[in-house]
A and B are shown apart, each in its own frame.
Chain A
Amino acid sequence: MSNGLIDFVLVSVALLAIGIYGLAVKRNAIRMLFGVEMVVNSANLNLVAFSRYIPNSQGQTLALFSIAIAAAEVAVGLALVIVAYRMYKNIDIADFRSLKG
């Protein structure tokens, strides 16, 4: 059975890498939000896969909590992006330059 586990972990690591790449390279606030979501969901995938093979249910419990929390976090993030859009008519992080030093 544990042959299957490595597949899940590989997918999860790939998701983590894509998410961090997206955060590092993209300058569009929505795309950066996607990156954050991918990082969180790669961890969720890990938790559920480990929980299946360990086996106990703590990982799945944490994954459920984490999904709910990520939803709350993204709600706040999108609200901030909307306020930024109203102010700048643009959501490019590189254009926000009022803070420098």
Chain B
Amino acid sequence: MIDFTSTPIILTLLLGSVGVLIPVISVARKEKGSSLYGGIALGALLVAIGFVIYQIITKHVSPAAIFSQNVLVDDKFGSFFAIAMLIVGIMTTVGSFNYMRGRSNPAVYYSLILLSSIGMVLIAYSTDLVMLFIAWELMSIPTYVLAGFSKKDPSSNEAALKYFLFGALSSGIIIYGISIAYGITGSTNIEQVIDGFSKLGPDMMPLAILAVGMFIAGFGFKIGLVPFHMWLPDAYEGAPPTIAALLAAGTKKAGFAAALRVIIMGAIALNLNWAFALAVIAIVTMTVGNLAAIRQKNLTRMLAYSSIGQAGYILIGMSVAPFSQLGLQASLFHILNHAVMKAAAFIAVAGIISTLAVSHIEKIKGLGKRMPITSLGLVISLLALAGVPPLNGFWSKLMLFGAAINSGTAVSWGPYLAVAGVLNSALSLAYYGWIIRKMYFEEGESDKRVKEPKSIIAVMIFSIIFIVGIGVYPDPAIEFAKSAVPVLSSLGSIH
């Protein structure tokens, strides 16, 4: 039964019809100019996010559920991710207004952003592996095209090709994992798969572990977990910087949504000692990401490595989930914060690249005087990424490390996660601080103020308000993250 008033269905119809309509309009319309298409896309995304918030306020959304008999469930968990993804979509669209000026095919560009947003939103809502896989591909395929959107630029093309090959391999591995899970449980519904996993005899256990391992590898490619991260810096650096924002803040977070629905639940049902494995991956991921970021000379590449490091922090919360109530709440809160911080940082860099055509760290000396608002936005988002106190990144990191310490009563390695996280945060402050030093405390070649694009200023002001606002008054966002966490104790009935 399809309920046509449920949030995911209406979002799909709205964004999908607008996304298909934009290229049609561009064919019918003769004169060029990208602002119309960007405006339409922005309008559709704003209506979509307004609708999600309206549904939550009027309590049409069911409380956080993991399972449903349908392929899509209209719950708080999905709505939480939908809001995060749509915010990223809006920031990317607005940030692209300036970037796309004078470039070819603006209609296709905005339409692909909309289609990719549908995919990201549907991943969070899906409760069936078939739906999950299709939403995953709906998210991925437009981003392959977007990564290679500047066709005349060799690095954009190279980035797209690398991203495509690893992305296609990851979806191949995911569907192989789905096929094993289907083979041993006879269903593709996530609830029935996990129910089947928990009743397996010992002879079928290795297959179920293989299936969960394949899900970890497949989703790990998009998330950027460390053994699977090698494509990520190249793709983020070569892609247009606004699209790097969409990749780092959007598709990566959608990967976490899928991982939360599938891996965590599957692993709990299998009763494995999986939490320790995830903790090891978390520590390796953040250490490798932060250490590699220190050596980088290119702003986008540095941000790409830093987003690998941030994936490690989010994974801390997921690995301590069964031992501490706080774990998943902290992960979700950090996912929302990181989506905004990272998108803001990439769009600030996009603004710098499109006005000054530089992305090398030595070339941004004295930028604080030349582009004050963009620089301020970049500084605020970098400080929030590092977890400096009055900003939102501080609260989510505090919750993550608190959850790790709380879990010490159940597992002896819990507190070490917090130690590793704090050390890594200090390490990351080194390279974030280096950027800030270059921008504000070193003399550039000229002090002449350049005209900053209005659309970039708008994104910067929004993200500064968001980051500082949640930093000063985090309670509503934490409450929302809490209400979006699926109740793990409901899994107890399966055992």
Contacts and interface: CB of A to CB of B under 8 A. Distances in A.
Interface of A: 9, 12, 16, 19-20, 23, 29, 32-33, 35-36, 39-40, 42-44, 46-47, 50-51, 54, 56, 58-59, 61-62, 65-66, 69, 72-73, 76-77, 79-81, 83-84, 87-88, 93, 96, 98-99, 101
Interface residues of B, number: 45
Contacts of A56: 186-187
A51 to B, nearest CB: 8
B172 A43 contact: yes
Interface stretch (B233-241, B374-382, B410-418, B429-437): B233-241
Contact of A36 (B157, B169, B183, B188): B169
Contacts of B169: 20, 23, 35-36, 39
5 contacts: A36-B168, A43-B179, A73-B171, A84-B161, A96-B154
A72 B137 contact: yes
A33 B161 CA distance: 10
A101 B171 contact: no
B274 interface: no
B289 interface: no
Contacts of B175: 40, 43-44, 47, 62, 66
A50 B183 contact: yes
A80 B179 contact: no
A29 B161 contact: yes
B180 A80 contact: no
B182 to A, nearest CB: 5
Contact of A80 (B161, B171, B173, B296): B161
Interface string B146-185: 0010010011011111101100110111011011101100
A39 B161 contact: no
Contacts of A42: 176
Contacts of A73: 137, 140-141, 144, 168, 171
Q: Is the interface of A mostly helix, strand, loop or mixed?
A: helix
Contact of A59 (B134, B179, B234): B179
Given A39-B176, A76-B164, A62 B158 contact: no
A38 to B, nearest CB: 8
B298 interface: yes
Given A46-B180, A99-B237, A32 B165 contact: yes
Contacts of A81: 161
A62 B237 CA distance: 35
Given A62-B182, A96-B161, A69 B137 contact: yes
B165 A36 contact: yes
A76 B257 CA distance: 25
With a 10 A CB-CB cut-off, give which of A42, A80, A96 has the most chain B CB atoms. Answer: A80
Given A39-B173, A66-B133, 5 more contacts: A62-B188, A66-B175, A69-B133, A84-B161, A98-B238
